[in-house]
Amino acid sequence: MDTVFIKAFKEILREQLVEKNSVDIDGFGTFEVIHYEQHQKRYSNGKVVMMPPKDILEFKSNIKVSNDN
Amino acid sequence: MTIDRKKLVDLLIEKTDLSQEEVEIQLDQLIERILDAAERGKALEIKEFGLFFFDQEGDLKFEPSEELSTEISFKYAGMKPVELKPERNTAIPDDDDPAGSISAADDVIVVPKSDRKSPSLNPKKSPETKPASASASASASKIRQPIRQKKDRSGVWALLAFFIVLIIGAIIYFNRPSTSVTDTSVSVSEPSSQESDIQNYPEPQDNTETEIENNDTSTEIVEETYISEGSDEEQNQEVSVPIQNQIYGLTGEFAESVNTGYSIVVYSLYNDFRAEEVAEELRADGYRVKITTRVVDGLDVYRISLGLFESIPDAQAAAETLPEPFNENNFIQRIQL
């Protein structure tokens, strides 16, 4: 496979995802950036912390393989 | 915005100078290779991008590389959880519950719901006669205490804030008596002198001259009026200064003396000049603006934050009042100089 193509593929996806655009590749899946707001979290020791917000890249695909093998 | 396959192919053509057919073939090959590797139970990694694999349920998954994750969540990089409340372990439970302090603190978490129904349990009464219930009551008291403790703490803070306000009020009040005294002395000649205001300052001199002829005591009063006017203005300024320079709030200026609190971050920039420019624009809009520097992956990141708040809820409430896009795209950080 062409390394130039792979490099371009990575760069384009990165650029689009950093701009919070989702990339939908038909027949493969969708790359999407999900924003999580800051929220409070309580640990079992009673400590309560404010978790910082974050953006997470998620990939959703309909492709599934059976585990019969 | 969504980039579909067609747009992606266009962008790839633009970037690689390959023909559309070539790009389509390469893209299909890449997908095939990913699926082939994944189906064989292997993960295919695209360096500095991520890892494709099938999970245990047979779903195709993607795990972004650290570089990509950091880049995507760049704005929040380096942020750590902020502790809101202190640990539960304090001296108060020991004072209330000397016998029960033997029980392991970690076990407490398991017990609570069943024992909460018997609030009248008192560990002090029979800790030795009923060991099982004693440990239960000890744990129950240990569970309840932190809740009380939290409330107590908030009450203490509220009281502290109240006393501080009282002290400030007292200081302002005790600075005022001189004005009220002068006001009473002024009240005789106030109508004429106050109506004339500052523009008519020369006139009173004439009045004093004329009044000197009439009565010496009245001149003293008139002089006092001008002295008191001056002092009144000064005192008004003294009173108004703390109001203008309130430490906390969305607008105003950052007080250098304050080195703790919370602020709403609306920008994270690499370029310090750009950060200064943006900060100036926000300052021009009347916001209390601060630039803080963080080092993320060896690079300086300049965070521009608005306002200074005593607590996170205050900051959150203020963040909601910000104009778009700041009201939705922000986070709160603790200021520590």
User: Any idea what the CATH number is for the domain that residue B62 is in?
Assistant: 4.10.520.10
CA distance B229 to chain A (A): 52
Q: Give the chain A residue nearest B110 (alpha carbons).
A: A44
Residue B137 has pLDDT above 80, yes or no: no
Residues B111-136 pLDDT 10s: 333 444 444 444 444 444 344 444 44
Residue B27 lies in a domain: yes
Are residue B265 and residue B325 in the same domain, yes or no? yes
Q: How many CB pairs (< 8 A) connect A and B?
A: 149
- Are B11 and A12 within 8 A, CB to CB? yes
- Residues B277, B303, single domain; the answer is yes
Give the N- to C-terminal CA distance of chain A in Å, as an integer. Answer: 29
The total number of structural domains that make up chain B: 4
Which tokens is B115 given?
Answer: 């024992």
Structural domain including B291 reads: 260-336
- Tokens read off for B243: 């109001």
Tell me, yes or no, whether B240 and B265 share the same domain: no
Q: What angle do CA B68, B18, B63 make, to 5 degrees?
A: 20
69 residues of chain A, pLDDT tens digit each: 678 889 999 999 999 998 889 999 888 899 999 998 888 888 888 888 888 898 999 999 888 777 655
Asked if residue B240 and residue B268 are part of one domain, the reply reads no
pLDDT of B94 strictly over 60: no
Instruction: Kindly state whether residue B83 falls inside one of the protein's structural domains.
Output: no
The answer to whether position B90 is within a domain reads no
Residue B78 resides in a domain: no
Residue window 284-313, chain B: list those with CB within 8 Å of chain A: 312
Domains of chain A by residue range: 3-60
Specify if B238 maps to a domain: yes
Q: Which of B307, B176, B170 is nearest to B250 (CA)?
A: B307
Q: Report the chain B residue with the minimal C-alpha distance to residue A7.
A: B16
CB contact under 8 A, B83 and A47: yes
Q: Of B244, B278, B295, which closes a domain?
A: B244
A51/chain B closest Cα distance in angstroms: 5
The CATH number of residue B305's host domain is: 3.30.70.1070
Q: Does residue B25 belong to the interface with chain A, where contact is any CB pair within 8 Å? A: no
Q: Do B26 and A1 touch (CB under 8 A)?
A: yes
Between positions 201 and 260 of B, the ones with CB within 8 A of A are none
Question: Where is pLDDT greater, at B99 or B333?
Answer: B333
Per the prediction, chain B carries an average pLDDT of 68
Residue of B nearest to A2 (CA): B26
Minimum-distance CB partner of B12 among A8, A18, A21: A8
Whether B142 maps to a domain, the answer reads yes
| CATH number, domain A3-60 | 4.10.520.10
